Structure 1
Amino acid sequence: MTQIPTDQTILHQLQAIVDAARERRAENVVVLDLSEVSTTLDYFVIATATAGLQLNAVQENIRQKALESGLPYPTVEGPSERWLLMAFGASIVVHLMTREAREYYDLEGLWSDARPLDFPEA
């Protein structure tokens, strides 16, 4: 895994999102640094959750913790029973997906040139 970015504000915001997802038992939380491979996006956070109630619980917790960390109110695409996208401007985009959707769409594979960042569990 690659070192975490040095910008302390982004570090704090990404950590808040990762922690919020894990607090609601999201699995396989991955952060990708897209800054060197995209002209419009900076970071993806990708996490796996079961459909329905857990997706909503993870989304609500991320929204709350992200706002507390200074991020703007997110726009939300979906939600569906398989995939929910939360965009905090172009800086951070969160993808909450079921295991099946995550395997099917394979965002990590599509963005394999992006740099994965390591946010160890506490």
Structure 2
Amino acid sequence: MTKQIKPNLPHPDPVLDQLRVIVDAARERRAEDVVALDLTDVSSTLEYFVICTATAGLQLNAVRENIREKAMAAGLSRPTVEGPSERWLLLAFGGSIVVHIMTKDAREYYDLEGLWSDARVLDFPEDER
């Protein structure tokens, strides 16, 4: 079932809509363990992280490209891409949203969720839309 927002009513937080687009785009390319973190209460310079797991090579690039396309269609600026490497790609959408696409080994090694364990986890269930 599709969740619809009435066009004449502004959404209370458009960033949440943009994060939802990014999370959905990652899942469309079969990224696993997609997590969105709200860092606004625990960092003075960072706002939101999206972290997901993909296999090396083709899937990393497919996830990156789908996120880039869908996020730009949702109104975000073209991201800067850090890396690229076979283990970790980072997409920065301005100063507000940073996406980490990591292999399972890199994600376990760097443990961003552990490093930012005080951040609030945002819930974007797969069946919400």
State the TM bucket, normalised to the shorter chain.
over 0.9
Task: State the alpha-carbon separation in 2 of the partners of residues 41 and 70 from structure 1.
Answer: 20
Residues 64-103 of structure 1 correspond to what in structure 2 (within 5 A)? 64-103=69-108
Task: State the alpha-carbon separation in 2 of the partners of residues 106 and 26 from structure 1.
Answer: 17
SS at match of 2:52: strand
1:105 lines up with 2:110 in the alignment: yes
SS at match of 2:81: strand
Q: CA deviation at 1:90?
A: 1.3
2:33 equivalent among 28, 32, 57: 28
Q: 1:91 to 1:111 in 2, by over 3 A?
A: same
Task: State the alpha-carbon separation in 1 of the partners of residues 23 and 12 from structure 2.
Answer: 16
- Report the equivalent of 1:44: 49
The one-letter code matched in structure 1 to 2:19 is: L
Question: What is the TM-score of this pair, normalised by structure 1?
Answer: 0.93
Q: Specify the structure having the higher radius of gyration (Cα).
A: 2
1:10 lines up with 2:15 in the alignment: yes
Task: State the alpha-carbon separation in 2 of the partners of residues 78 and 7 from structure 1.
Answer: 34
Question: What is the TM-score of this pair, normalised by structure 2?
Answer: 0.88
Larger relative contact order (CA 8 Å, sep ≥ 6): 1
Give the alignment's Cα RMSD to 1 decimal: 0.9
The one-letter code matched in structure 1 to 2:101 is: L
CA deviation string 1:80-110 (max 9, x = no partner): 0000000001100000000000000000000
The one-letter code matched in structure 1 to 2:123 is: D
Unaligned runs of 5+ in 2: 1-10
SS at match of 1:79: coil
Task: State the alpha-carbon separation in 2 of the partners of residues 67 and 85 from structure 1.
Answer: 16
